[in-house]
Amino acid sequence: MQFQQLAYFVAVADHRHFTRAADQARVAQPSLSQQIRALEHDLGAPLFHRIRGNVSLTEAGETLLPIARRILADTEAARRAIRELAELDRGRVRLGAPPSLCTGLLPAMLAAFRRRYPGIQLELHESGSGDLRQRLAEGALDLALLAGTRTAAGPGLTATPLLLEELVVISPAPLAGDRLGIEQLADVPLVMFRRGYDVREATVNACRAAGFEPSFAIEGGEMDAVLELVRAGVGAAVVPRTVAGDRFPVTRFAPGAGMTRVVQLAHREDVEPTRAVRALHTAIVGFVADPARRASLPPGIESLVPRPVVSEKQG
């Protein structure tokens, strides 16, 4: 099994087409097909169904694909680590984050990091926490800000808790009462995020624990779409407190409802981070730990990072 063969295999799996995969890999299609056949012979199992020009993964192919992605990602991480040994004036970090953080706290964090390390290239990948966990496990991301009710980041991942954030209800018009019980959502049509968003999971689980299924006015949206649908009067939505801002009527949940989420900074535990990745990790944790930043956190958000200890000699 060769790295090049795995790269060709992943390209065909992504495109479901040998010719397009060969174009991406900048290799002649017959050569790519020959390498795929050699890989199948080496593994002792076909990786693709080839029926009248249609290409799909066999069971063996489905099994190999996430492993191949990790191997290729780890190889690239090793190359980057060697290139970045000298100093932190170059490098690349692939960071994933939920949309609520991309428009909330993250811009200030990344701006501070860029001022300190202008030579490090940052790639920001925006998606729901469920998607980010998978991409992190596959090696497609170096770091990810994960948000959810769970405290464990996921199998094979290690995480640093950063923030505890309150979830609230936004609506086109004020809801009755200052505080909302979970059971009151039974009568509220909800604009719901697509699957993969931690807020969707938290809301649906809380409703089911209260003995009912939530009613969706519409579902499947990304963050911006959900906010605009609420603004248009389609329904209410459960969102993180940072997203609600002052643009909508906001109703908080009653104490004890458990409608909060933990924001964690995660990475794969089996991959040694490059210096650039470690620098960004340290910068994000330090940003949240900074006393001035903690004081400026919006209502409904609590820092989980211990305050830095300052000795008397340090002042």
Per-residue pLDDT of 215-260, as tens digits, reads 999 998 888 899 999 999 999 999 988 888 777 888 889 888 889 8
* Residue 88 included in any domain: no
Residue 236's beta-bridge partner residues? Answer: 190
The total domain count for the chain is: 2
Both 229 and 300 in one domain: the answer is yes
pLDDT of residue 108: 85
Both 143 and 13 in one domain: the answer is no
Q: Is this prediction's pTM over 0.75? A: no
pLDDT of residue 153: 66
pLDDT of residue 85: 56
pLDDT in tens, 55-88: 899 999 999 999 999 999 888 888 777 766 554 6
Both 122 and 271 in one domain: the answer is yes
Q: Which residue has the tokens 């960071």?
A: 95
* Residue 314 included in any domain: no
How far is residue 44 from each of residues 37, 65, 213, 268, measured CA to CA in Å? 10, 16, 48, 30
pLDDT of residue 258: 83
Residues in the chain with pLDDT values less than 70:
83-90, 150-153, 308-315
**At 122, which CATH number?**
3.40.190.290
* Residue 87 included in any domain: no
* Residue 315 included in any domain: no
**At 33, which CATH number?**
1.10.10.10
